[in-house]
Structure 1
């Protein structure tokens, strides 16, 4: 018998807990036929609603259900890491509780694992139901990451992924505080099969990811797996030094030839504002990397457990 660990991060998802359980257990005949035992790990990321209460109801009905509840909200990245760390399965799959990751795909995913793949990852081929502006920036983000990072980043990639224990152990060896799991998946390598499916809208509740949170998350991803912004900042600095030198030469030549003093303070102010803005922008890039180094050096735990059942 092999063991499958299902990791389900939750934050204020009391309406979806039971729905997800029902959809997942529809695969029980398949699990029984293939001699796969199930371990269902709900990771409560400091929910303020009745998420924990709903999971405890399931625990009373099914001993395969477990819950790890955080002392506060640490974020989805911490929840996924906790799930991987607590999992005992020969195979591990991460899924969203809102049913945007269809449990019905699991039999097909296992078929690829048995063919020799180390992981089966999923990606959406459509973004139906998403705001157009979010879809546009999401596509630009994945395109940018492919250009500036050495990790494999697929457009529309989900966290929904079935992995072997070997790959899970490799991910757990990366104990960095500032985590960007989509990048970590690509960085550790291993043979991966990409499974495409149509976008599925949430079964219940509302998404916890607004545009600002997604923007911050994308910046974390870029700074976690690429030093290209630092290189860009250096090139911009060199470029403006060259422009400034050429302008000085131009002003001197103009004075010597035409005897016309440089005039026009508005243009001067515009130049000063532009160069100052570039300087602050480059300083901000350096600050992002410095902040991440600062958080890593402090060696704080990635999450704290309040309750585990």
Structure 2
């Protein structure tokens, strides 16, 4: 009899869901809105109802589902699925894992969303087969996941590999959602890139960035494209954000000596415009022997990395 895993990747705007076979093949994937009203209290019931409805539509008996692997954007107790804080969706001291298990009648495992992306890429993506891997997710924020000795690192209380919250601006840095200032997330995320671009454009009245700013449409993609077209202000921003990110990754690499560094998230769609200067910065700051052992790559699973990682979380725990 076929068995299935359910992957759930909870984001600030949508929850990505998938029914996945034992070999990692996605049978069905879909999304539901993330309801952040009332501090996100309805999210578990929304997920449970959506899974139930989809299993019926696909003629899959719930008994054929081994379990649910879910990722949340915050600080997670991976033993219980308890969310200490997930700022983007309003959770604080939220017993998500047990709630979802009670609502679905299924076993549930929960981890940080960036860790799930790392697990997905390590199972079926750009980091397949690596026993030492750093995965970086560049989106609205900056996420990190580390595979060491073939295992995801969670740390003493679930905050290992929170690369986005490495301090890179010790004094006078921008405020971060975590409560600190000067975090990497405030510099090298999509949000940080836009903020830096606005600052740079103020000093360059001729920059193409000013048109986007005046229209209120500036995105990180626009900054990369302007840089490619030779815009001085945009190029300076890309140089700064990749230099800072490369240094942060190089410092993390000292701890685990990775075989591969995989970069994913929306910002990674810039491809070589991001990867080339980022790898150059990494190799500038990394211990030479550490750099020799590691290669760079763009994540291959795209938006499916989290749900595939969720499936693998169930697979490795059952």
Normalising by the residue count of structure 1, what TM-score does the alignment of the two structures yield? 0.27
More strand by share: 2
Higher relative helix content: 1
Q: Quick check: which has more Rg, 1 or 2?
A: 1
